[in-house]
Structure 1
């Protein structure tokens, strides 16, 4: 049999308390259990570590040497085995528009089942930092070209809507056809957006009036009536701007919502998070496609 951590922890507690009862209480074990562990430790190291009397416990020279070493080494070992919250957190990245509903449910269940905290990070980058090691998994919309060594899983699809300035002639309308968008100037978010010109036929594509590098710039450009913008439907519910209206696009191509992560070498709980996300979004789509739903 080998020396185990509970032997060493018990010895340190006893060396510092110098009293079996107090040391046992500190360890959360019974006094007989602590006594057996100390005897077993002495057998395994082949030395007497303690001088026992009816009133107190003292360290032998061998026990003092062992204590001096363990008092430094054991805390370092404990820290390595149980890293702090910032080191062990599972990091979820997104470029813009963090979804509502299923992510919050998944995060709560993930934390409860694994004991690992989840931190959400916004990164204004195409892959939301997952390719740079800044996040463990990224929630991304649109058609994703993942680099070698990474994997993408599509969770669901979202409808598209068109954002227009309240000063635009389109603001009085409720919907617009996909092909008719080409008749208007387009505002593009080229970093984290979900729309590009290739989604229209080559002979009928909109002119680009403004190119932006993040969602906030895009929204303000639309509000300033520099052009129209195309985004997933949830934006109309989450990002309310007093100078922006939204039109439905009944025939618009849906937007895939993806999880992107490393195939190998990533966080050991990545696959578990992905599996939980897939289950949660499948349930969400099933509910939305039910008798009272409208599908995705």
Structure 2
């Protein structure tokens, strides 16, 4: 296979694996088998004569050459998808989120935006919305926590969510009626280092949890908490959205609120973006 034989499916396969850091999760997104996905990525690497991914039993991540190629591949895919939408007389705005879109805000914001014209919202689940925004794999990112997007991205604060603790059902904490924020540091804390809303950074130096278990995506975080590796801290909405038989939720007192914001690139379809920001901020008032 030569570079002339590279097709869009090769770019989509590589981009999905790089985005998820996992062949299995990427195969699930693309609705193909994992062996087929592995062959497709291998074909791309052979055609380019470059190793794009470092593979290990625990993680898959782009090589230096792969990271550079990913940025260009994402731009090419975005341009192709946009061209298709234009040809079909459609405009699509891709909203990226790492987990659990806030409700009812998301449903109301999408409804308000789509009724104001012929544009639609495409929901894109991604482990690192800021990275995908920078790569232009999405148009706008939903962010939770205190992360400030680097320039030239801009952020619009929507509102703030309360926090709640979550633990394994056989954890001692599951018998408590509540947990004080100041007491959290006494428990091992499971953290999603890529898109989590709570981590050691949430406390002043000297008051941080003594033990932190790091994960890199929502699924790893969820199963680590369920396995009793430690406790998690999540937006209160998770109580009604996460249904896992091995988990229990414990109310938190005196916990700081979680900022919820939208991040976007000002040079990316500004008129369409203004419409969505208007719809998104207006939807907050209806909650």
The two structures have a TM-score, normalised by structure 2, of 0.67
- Show CA shifts across 1:31-77 (max 9, x none): xxxxxxxxxxxxxxxxxxxxxxxxxxxxxxxxxxxxxxxxxxxxxxx
| CA displacement 1:119-171 (0-9 Å, x = unmatched) | 10011115162121111111110112211111001100000001111111110
Alpha-carbon spacing, 1:82–1:148, altered in 2? closer, same or farther (3 Å)? closer
Q: In the alignment, does 2:182 pair up with 1:182?
A: no
Indicate whether 1:249 and 2:248 are aligned. Answer: no
Per-residue Cα deviation, 1:168-211 (whole angstroms, up to 9, x for no partner): 11101121000101111111100010112132232222123421
- Alignment-derived partner of residue 164 in structure 2: 161
For residue 268 of structure 1, give the secondary structure of its aligned residue in structure 2: helix
Structure 1 counterpart SS, 2:96: strand
2 CA distance for matches of 1:123 and 1:241? 21
Partner of residue 31, structure 1: none
1:265 to 243, 264, 268: 268
Among 84, 87, 93, which residue is 2:88 paired with? 84
Say if 2:281 is the partner of 1:283.
no
Q: Which has the larger radius of gyration?
A: 1
Residue of structure 2 in register with 1:100 after alignment = 103
2:130 is paired with a residue of what secondary structure? coil
Q: How does 1:196-207 map to 2 (within 5 A)?
A: 196-207=199-210
Mapped to 1, the partners of 2:87 and 2:271 lie a distance apart of 14
Contact 2:96 2:129 in 1 (8 A): no
Aligned with 1:237 (options 240, 244, 255): 240
Q: Secondary structure at the match of 2:116?
A: helix
Runs of 4+ residues deviating >4 angstroms: 79-82
Contact residue 209 and residue 226 of structure 1 kept, 8 A = no
C-alpha separation in 1, matches of 2:178 and 2:139: 38
Distance 2:222 2:143 in 1: 18
Contact 2:85 2:92 in 1 (8 A): no
Number of matched residues? 205
Shift of residue 268 of structure 1?
3.0
CA contact (8 A) 2:91 2:118 kept: no
Instruction: Name which of structure 1's ranges 254-263 and 102-111 shifts more when overlaid on structure 2.
Output: 102-111
Does the C-alpha gap of structure 1 residues 80 and 204 become closer, same or farther in structure 2, counting only changes over 3 Å?
A: closer
SS at match of 1:124: coil
Match of 1:135 among 118, 135, 138: 138
Tell me the C-alpha RMSD between the 2 structures. 1.9
Mapped to 2, the partners of 1:81 and 1:224 lie a distance apart of 44
- Aligned counterpart, 2:197: 194
2:211 to 200, 208, 211: 208
- Please tell me whether the aligned partners of residues 122 and 128 of structure 1 are also in contact (alpha carbons under 8 angstroms): no
Q: CA deviation at 1:81?
A: 10
Q: Unaligned 5+ residue runs, structure 1?
A: 1-78, 285-296
Could you say if the C-alpha distance between residues 118 and 225 of structure 1 is closer, same or farther in structure 2, counting changes exceeding 3 Å?
same
Alignment check: 8 A CA contact 1:139 1:259 kept:
yes
Q: What TM-score do you get using the length of structure 1 for normalisation?
A: 0.65
Distance 1:149 1:203 in 2: 34
